[in-house]
Amino acid sequence: MTHRKKKKSTEKKKKPADAMVLVISDGKAFLGTGLAFQMYITEEKHRKALEGKKIGMVFEGKEIDLPGYIFKITGGTDKYGFMHHPGVDGGELKSILLSSPPGIRFARYKVEKRGGGFKLVDLRGIARKKTVRGNVIGDKTRQINVVVVSRRGSRIKEMTKESILSDRILSPLVEKIGYLIIKNGLHRVRFVSDGEVVRLQDKLAEAGVTEQFIKKLSIDLGIGVIKRGKKLILNVIRPVLKCRGNTEFAKYVAKTLYEFYNELVAGKKDLGDEDKVIAELVDKILDGAEKALKNELKVDFRFKIKEKAS
């Protein structure tokens, strides 16, 4: 079988010079998606506001121009790649013995035998010497990991689309939520014809579906998801975001997108009224999510679709 290779873009987002990277995670205390995204801290006053804080400390988002949010520092690394260890006081580099996380990974390593060959050695519980930086954020820190603890202000389900997209925390999250749900369905459905495998995403592109359409669909779907609440996210959406494609909801999304493709090919759907088409798709996917939450969703769908060779 042969696969169609998608051309990868060579363009990369450039990191601002000397910028501090803030990795913001959405844990169960907030929306519950488990997703994370990056933000660059470029202004000196915001960097100074973070310096001196310790791993585990909770701080107000307004200190770094993210009002309404409360964050907890969970970790970080310096410009040399050494991690900030929560159990080491201060902000200097220190060599310590570690036998458990953080700062060490349980693994089995290949060790060469005297007589030739290799053997696997389990290093769990064995102390190893590691160089780490202390738990205080300083001027040598280049990445800080934080988790959203809470958010003040209007309830998310009462917010407008415009206000959600203008929120610097919610905006990247909704796009990522929707994109991962759609991507899961698009990448899993495969058309097989005469030894060639084609993804549903490529089929939709041939039918006139643009990347801009997929982006708008992802954003609207992500907004719909966070407005439905944490219970739906934790029980139905989160497994799909973690790429578990065999859940009933994951199969339902794949089937819905496949049916959408068939309607386009048959001329039953018109992409001229893009907003209407996207709204219908979002409503259909979210209705399936609600049924999955109530254990009322049963989907009989195979990801591999055989086509007759033309």
Q: What is the pTM of this model?
A: 0.83
| One domain, residues 77 and 115 | no
Question: How many domains does the chain contain in total?
Answer: 3
Is 65 within a domain?
yes
Q: Over range 62-80, report the average pLDDT.
A: 95
| One domain, residues 114 and 162 | no
| pLDDT tier, 308 (very low <50, low <70, confident <90, very high otherwise) | low
Lowest mean pLDDT among 24-28, 169-173, 246-250: 246-250
Give the integer Cα–Cα distance in Å for 268 and 248. 26
Q: Under a CB-based contact definition with an 8 Å cutoff, are residues 88 and 96 in contact? A: yes
Q: Which of 124, 7, 8, 143 is nearest to 73 (CA)?
A: 143
Is 15 within a domain?
no
Show Cβ contacts of residue 166 under 8 Å, excluding neighbours closer than 6 positions: none
| One domain, residues 300 and 171 | yes
Is 48 within a domain?
yes
- Predicted confidence at residue 122, as pLDDT, reads 74
Give the integer Cα–Cα distance in Å for 73 and 136. 11
pLDDT tens digits for 73-116? 999 999 999 999 998 899 898 888 877 677 666 667 777 888 88
| One domain, residues 145 and 161 | no
Q: Identify the domain containing residue 41 by its residue range.
A: 20-88+136-151
